[in-house]
Each structure stands twice: as structure tokens, then as C-alpha cells.
Amino acid sequence: MKKKLHLLFIFLLLLLTPILKLIRWRVLFVINSGTEDTISDVLPEAISRLLTQSFFLKTHHIPIGFIVSRNGISLVVSNSSTNDIIWSNKTVVSKQIQSIRTWKARRIALGGILPSAISKFNMQPLLANERISLQTHGTVYMLSKCIDGTIKRFPDLFLEKRPISIIGSGYTGQALARHLESRDIKVNLFDIVNKDIFPNSKNVNFLYSKFHEISSSGLIILLSTKGDDGVKSIEQHLLPNMVLLSDTYPKVSQTKVETLIRKGVLFFECHAKLENAFMFPTYSYTPYDLLGGCFIQSYVESFLETTIADYDAFVKNAEIIGLSGFISEKSTTKE
């Protein structure tokens, strides 16, 4: 019955799309399907496979739900493009941006890989002075809060005494590394792609495919594009009592979570939390009352209706609103 209600709900939203596009939402939250296998996480299985075949829905968006808070309602929209399509096709990215511009909102949040693709294709200048949020402060704030909370939660593991390992040196990984560097925290930043980044840093050590080096860490931040791929790249080097915090989409699967638990690794998903805010309807890939870092960047900016380029200014406004980080033990993958 729940699946049937979800299908009816999506059809109702589709019928109401012309009206929904007239409403000025607090935030328009844009997501994509991740992979061909995870599109059913955001769209009913009865139509998800059909939608993956539509090129129109790879570049355009349909409403799938709402994020409700005391300060207004935000709309969540999705397209059927996978991460691989977005990462490799500048035309698709350009058409998605054109589609996004047709919706009304105080600010627009881009989830998933889209911000990284915009950076890769050097499209940021085209979006200057627009409602679209490209800053990473929201995600860095969320992850920083989760890191601090984890260190405090497990004092006997002495996580703060060793370098923090970040898996994935993309848009978010580099931003988090810069933030931790500014706090004088030692960071090992890993990737399977060789890059000329942080060459003169005293705190950030970029390690190209040297995943065995994570053995020097106790706290690992997983920021790979695909959760399972990220775990696969490091699992042979994981040790008991390591803590792995994940912020990926697609999420780490239940199978991989169980593998980590058997190895004695403590696994958590990272989220942002805002009191009395929730998503409707509930989706299996995330708890209904927890939010993503890319969303909260735009949410905070929506009160000022402008970009917040300074991290300290973002933190000040986020704390006034009551945003915090939250780590979840349960799997957030589709059952």
C-alpha cells in the first residue's frame, strides 16, 4: 500500500507542476538519481525504469517531495541523470541549469555531483549573482560538527591524536581539508586521481592511491562519489576501532555496512539537523528528519537572499537558526 500511495503522490505532484512552479519556495533542492540502480530511491519503482529511458528527464526536473520547517516550505525536485552522465556531459549540465532557472525559490541547492561538475566544466562564472548556491560551507559545517561530535563521543579512541583521513579529493573533500587545515588539524587526503593540490601545506598531505596510509588514522571521512566504491578502495586497510563517517550518494549499501561492522569499524552517516524540520514523503535513503549539507547552505542563505561567501559568517547564521551536525548509526539505504 505504501508503494501505491507513493506512486499516486508523485503523479499528483506531476499534475500540479505548473502550479508548483509559480510558488516561490524557501529553497529548491535539486537532486539526481545517482546510478541506474538507485533511481528507485527517489521515484516509485513502477515508473523509475521508464523515466531512466527519457532524455527529457535527464535534463529536466520533476517534484518529488517537500522539506517542511518552521520558517517555510522547500521543494525537492529530481532528474533521472546518473552521476556518470552529469560528470561526463557538459551539455546535460547546461540543460539542467536552464531547467532549474524556470523554478521559483529564494535560493537553489544543488545536491549530488552537480556542483563538482559545474566546477569541472568551469561554469561558475555563468552562475554569478544567481540564486544557485555553489559554496561548500554548509557541507563543511555539517561534517565539522559531525567530526567534533564523534571525537567527543569516543574519547577512549584518541581520534584527535592522529591525522584525519579524507577519501575523495573533489569539490567537498578539498573544502573540508582546507577547513581542517585552518584549525591546525593534520589531514591525509586520498584519491584515485593524481592531482597537484596542497603542495606546500604543512597540515594536508595528498596521497595518490596510497590507501594503506589510512592505517595511521583513527577517523576516516568517506566523500567518494559512490559509497560502495569508496569502501571497496579502503576496506582491506581498515582496522578495528576505526571510525568511518560517510557523506556519499549513492549511500553505502547495507552489505558493505555489515562488512565494516565485522571488521570492527564503527560506521556512521553524516547529516545536518534542524529542530522541527522534516521531509515529506519519507525516502529510504535518508531519515525523514535529517538534512544534507548542500541543502543547509541554501537554507541559511535564504534568510539573507544572497550568497554567504565567508565561512565564519555562515557559521554565525547557521547557529542562530539552530543547525547542527548529526551522525546516524542505522543504514540509510533502500531496503
Q: What pLDDT score was predicted for residue 52?
A: 59
Peptide bond into 250 cis (omega under 30): yes
Give the residue with greater pLDDT, 207 vs 124: 207
Can you tell me the distance from the alpha carbon of 290 to that of 325, in angstroms, rounded to the nearest whole number? Answer: 9
Can you tell me the distance from the alpha carbon of 58 to that of 229, in angstroms, rounded to the nearest whole number? Answer: 23
| 26: its cell numbers | 524557501
Mean pLDDT of the chain: 89
Range from 25-34, 164-173, 192-201, 284-293 carrying the lowest mean pLDDT: 284-293
Encode pLDDT of 142-190 as tens digits: 999 999 999 999 999 999 999 999 999 998 999 999 999 999 999 999 9
Query: With bands split at pLDDT 50, 70 and 90, how would you rate the model's confidence at 334?
Result: very low
Q: What pLDDT score was predicted for residue 49?
A: 60
Residue appearing with cell numbers 503523479:
11
Can you tell me the distance from the alpha carbon of 117 to that of 233, in angstroms, rounded to the nearest whole number? Answer: 22
Read off the pLDDT of each residue in 290-314 and give the average, rounded to a whole number: 93
Neighbours of 138 (CB within 10 A): 26
| CATH code that applies to domain 139-273 | 3.40.50.720
Q: What pLDDT score was predicted for residue 330?
A: 60
Does 4 have pLDDT greater than 90?
no
Can you tell me the distance from the alpha carbon of 236 to that of 263, in angstroms, rounded to the nearest whole number? Answer: 9
Helix (H), strand (E) at residue 326? strand 324-328
Range from 3-17, 150-164, 223-237 carrying the lowest mean pLDDT: 3-17
Instruction: Locate the domains of the chain by residue range.
Output: 2-134, 139-273
Query: With bands split at pLDDT 50, 70 and 90, how would you rate the model's confidence at 333?
Result: very low
Helix (H), strand (E) at residue 320? helix 311-321
Can you tell me the distance from the alpha carbon of 229 to that of 93, in angstroms, rounded to the nearest whole number? Answer: 24
Range from 63-77, 175-189, 277-291, 315-329 carrying the lowest mean pLDDT: 277-291
Does 29 have pLDDT greater than 80?
yes
Query: With bands split at pLDDT 50, 70 and 90, how would you rate the model's confidence at 332?
Result: very low
Residue appearing with cell numbers 576516516:
220
Alpha-helical regions (H) of 89-202? 90-100, 114-120, 137-153, 171-182
Q: How many residues does the chain have?
A: 335
- Quick check: 293 and 139 in contact, CB under 8 A? yes
Q: What pLDDT score was predicted for residue 331?
A: 44
